[in-house]
Every structure is written in C-alpha cells, then in structure tokens.
C-alpha cells in the first residue's frame, strides 16, 4: 500500500532536521511557548522558500518539497494511513480516522519518488518529488501562499545536470585563473595541443625547446576550432619553421 511503499523508500533520503510542533505539544497536553522563539525555530525544519502555516511547516527546492506535520506523541508508521497521489495527499490516524493532513496539492508530484517518515514519534516528514520543477505558492490549495517572485532561485551545482555542472565548474575555474593572471582551461588545452604538435615525430621542431610563439593559436576557440586546429597543427608547424628558417 501507499504507506508501506513510501515509508520504505524514505530510508534512501537524508533525514530532515528533527522538529517539535506546538500543535503536537498541545495535543499531548503540553504547554506550548515554554521554549524561547529562537530555540523553537531551531527545532523545526527550515522554511527556506516556503512558510509556516497553522498545520505544517514547509520548504522547497526546484525539485522537491519537504513538509513537517505534527503528530500525537509516540505515533508509529502502523498508526497512520498515508496516501500520496499525484494531485492530493491524505494522512489520517487508523484508530479513530481523525485527520492529520488532507487536501489537493498546489501542483502535481511523483508518488513513486516521494516518501514519508516519522521522527521522534511526534512529527511526520513528507518528502514530495515535484512532477514539474518549478516554484510552488503553497503545499495545499486554499492555504496561505508565498510570493514566488521573492524565492531564492539559485540552484546548487549538485542540482544541475552533469553537462551544466561541468560548464559551471569550468567557468569558476577560468574566473579564478584570470584573477590570478594564469591561463584559462581553454588556453591550457590549446598549449597542450601545441606541445603535442611540437614534439610529434614528423614535426620540424622536435627536440627543440618549446616556443608557443612559433605556432599561433586561435582565440575564442569552439569545439570545431579545436578539431580543425588539431588537424592542421603539423602543417602550421611546418610553415612556421619555414618562415623561421628564411628569416635567419
């Protein structure tokens, strides 16, 4: 069922920060507000790009949402009926059927990639995988909305695909190299190609000290430029050698 399959998949995800809810404390006969506000906030999940509502705390990235919902003390997985559907969620206690959280989602999720777990017996953590990677205004329709134009939309490098990660790392490396007056990755690559051409068996420069000025390299090179340059590198070396010899 939805509960068992979702619960088992949660083990592969990092455990969110433990939380303590005022609603859960009230349900158990505790007196909320004993802790300072700062300590209370530290015991809840972050509301980064999300919010605190009367029923739950939530946070989001472009890829997923994490929702913290208060539970009665000593609640176990077997005590709940959890149904995560593409466009809705339903979480209820099995014993008396009372509602934990039920409603239509603001947007769609991927149930097979979503999961839930219980922390400390009094809080439910939902990890919901977004079907479309965009910002949500709220978790459940009808709840208070956030202004999505004010969210921090910067992705971490780890959230990008492999190609984009490579491009970002190359850009950062090149920026750092330029700041130190050192060659960029393209310049390093070009120099390696030039050295290979210089020391090739049929190169007129083989055995001589490398002088990059004898083999002019193109600037702002593209991948096609690299290919063409590599094909013509020995021809250029011969021309450069001929011109160098004639000038002596």
In this structure, are residues 66 and 59 in contact, taking their beta carbons and an 8 Å threshold?
Answer: yes
pTM: 0.49
Domain 2-149 bears CATH identifier 2.60.40.790: yes
Distance CA 133, CA 151 (A): 14
pLDDT at res. 180: 84
Chain centre to alpha carbon of residue 141: 26
User: Mean pLDDT, to the nearest integer, of 138-154?
Assistant: 85
Q: In terms of DSSP bridges, do strands 80-84 and 115-119 run parallel, antiparallel, or are they unpaired?
A: unpaired
Chain centre to alpha carbon of residue 24: 32
The SS3 assignment for 96 reads coil
Name the most confidently modeled range: 21-25, 43-47, 211-215.
43-47
pLDDT at res. 227: 58
Distance CA 147, CA 57 (A): 16
pLDDT at res. 10: 41
Q: What count of Cα atoms within 13 Å lies in the side-chain half-sphere of residue 186?
A: 15
pLDDT at res. 92: 95
Whole-number average pLDDT of the chain: 74
Chain centre to alpha carbon of residue 245: 57
Query: What percentage of the chain has pLDDT greater than the value 90?
Result: 31
Reported residue count of the chain is 248
Q: State residue 126 phi and psi, 5-degree precision.
A: -100, 135
- Does residue 155 carry a pLDDT above 70? no
Distance CA 48, CA 55 (A): 17
In this structure, are residues 67 and 106 in contact, taking their beta carbons and an 8 Å threshold?
Answer: no
Pinpoint the residues of the chain covered by CATH 2.60.40.790.
2-149
Position 125 confidence tier, pLDDT thresholds 50, 70, 90: very high
The residue among 236 and 209 whose pLDDT is bigger is 209
- Does residue 25 carry a pLDDT above 50? no
User: Mean pLDDT, to the nearest integer, of 114-135?
Assistant: 91
pLDDT at res. 242: 66
Q: Each residue of 184-212: pLDDT tens digit?
A: 887 777 777 777 777 777 777 777 777 76
Rg of the chain (C-alpha set): 30
Sign of CA dihedral 229, 235, 241, 243: negative
Q: What count of Cα atoms within 13 Å lies in the side-chain half-sphere of residue 18?
A: 6
* Class of residue 97 by CB neighbours under 10 A (exposed 0-12, middle 13-18, buried 19+): exposed
- Does residue 179 carry a pLDDT above 70? yes
pLDDT at res. 238: 65
The SS3 assignment for 160 reads coil
The SS3 assignment for 123 reads strand
Query: What percentage of the chain has pLDDT greater than the value 70?
Result: 62
Q: Each residue of 69-84: pLDDT tens digit?
A: 999 999 999 999 999 9
pLDDT at res. 1: 45
């Amino acid at each position: 069922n939805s509960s068992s399959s979702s619960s088992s998949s949660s083990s592969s995800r990092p455990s969110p920060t433990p939380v303590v809810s005022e609603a859960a404390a009230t349900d158990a006969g505790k007196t909320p507000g004993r802790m300072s506000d700062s300590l209370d906030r530290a015991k809840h999940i972050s509301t980064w790009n999300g919010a605190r509502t009367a029923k739950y705390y939530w946070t989001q990235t472009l890829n997923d949402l994490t929702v913290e919902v208060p539970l009665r003390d000593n609640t176990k997985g077997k005590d709940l009926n959890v149904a995560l559907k593409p466009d809705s969620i339903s979480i209820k206690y099995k014993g008396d059927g009372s509602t934990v959280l039920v409603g239509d989602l603001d947007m769609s999720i991927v149930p097979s990639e979503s999961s839930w777990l219980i922390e400390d017996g009094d809080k439910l953590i939902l990890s919901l995988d977004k079907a479309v990677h965009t910002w949500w205004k709220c978790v459940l329709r009808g709840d208070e909305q956030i202004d999505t134009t004010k969210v921090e939309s910067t992705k971490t490098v780890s959230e990008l695909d492999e190609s984009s990660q490579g491009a970002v790392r190359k850009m950062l490396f090149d920026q750092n190299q330029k700041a130190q007056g050192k060659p960029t990755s393209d310049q390093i690559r070009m120099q390696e190609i030039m050295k290979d051409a210089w020391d090739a068996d049929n190169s007129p420069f083989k055995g001589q000290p490398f002088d990059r000025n004898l083999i002019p390299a193109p600037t702002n090179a593209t991948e096609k430029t690299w290919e063409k340059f590599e094909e013509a590198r020995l021809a250029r070396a011969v021309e450069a050698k001929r011109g160098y010899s004639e000038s002596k």
